[in-house]
């Protein structure tokens, strides 16, 4: 398993969908999925997508700076991303970190755990 390539392709897909239509991310989550967004937890595909679609901006661009991946048990994959967000018409980027635990399902992966934090300071 080339976990670095899998992680890279997943992140490209995830952020592309996030930037175009956040509701399209629903297929990547399951009932047992959990998102921790800035310390607030949401469990299940519906609450997670409700949170993501309720974020108070119209346009966002993710600029990935680093991407690290490690294999886990039973073909799971841990992915850690750092980067910058350009939100709406802002010219100053906001730094972020996001961690995913991906679970394989056939030839695809879904998100079991998703932790997102803005990096201030």
Domain that residue 49 falls in: 3-119
Domain harbouring 17, CATH code: 3.10.450.50
Per the CB < 8 A criterion, the answer to whether 81 and 97 are in contact is yes
Is the separation of the CB atoms in 5 and 72 below 8 Å? no
Pairing of strands 40-43, 29-37: antiparallel
For 62-95, how does the pLDDT look when each residue is reduced to its tens digit (9 = 90+)? 999 999 999 998 889 999 999 999 999 888 999 9
The span from the CA of 72 to the CA of 79, in Å, is 10
Domains held by the chain: number: 1
Q: What is the pTM of this model?
A: 0.94
Q: Are 13 and 24 in contact (CB under 8 A)?
A: no
Q: How far apart are the C-alpha atoms of 81 and 27, rounded to whole Å?
A: 21
Stretches in the chain below the pLDDT threshold 50: none
């Amino acid at each position: 398993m080339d976990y670095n390539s899998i992680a890279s392709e997943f992140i490209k897909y995830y952020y592309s969908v996030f930037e175009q239509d956040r509701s399209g991310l629903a297929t990547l989550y399951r009932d047992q999925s959990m998102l921790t967004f800035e310390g607030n937890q949401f469990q299940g595909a519906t609450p997670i997508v409700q949170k993501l679609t309720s974020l108070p901006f119209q346009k966002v661009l993710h600029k990935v700076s680093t991407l690290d991946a490690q294999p886990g048990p039973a073909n799971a994959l841990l992915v850690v991303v750092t980067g910058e967000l350009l939100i709406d018409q802002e010219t100053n980027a906001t730094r972020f970190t996001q961690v995913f635990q991906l679970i394989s399902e056939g030839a695809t992966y879904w998100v079991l755990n998703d932790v997102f934090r803005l990096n201030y300071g």
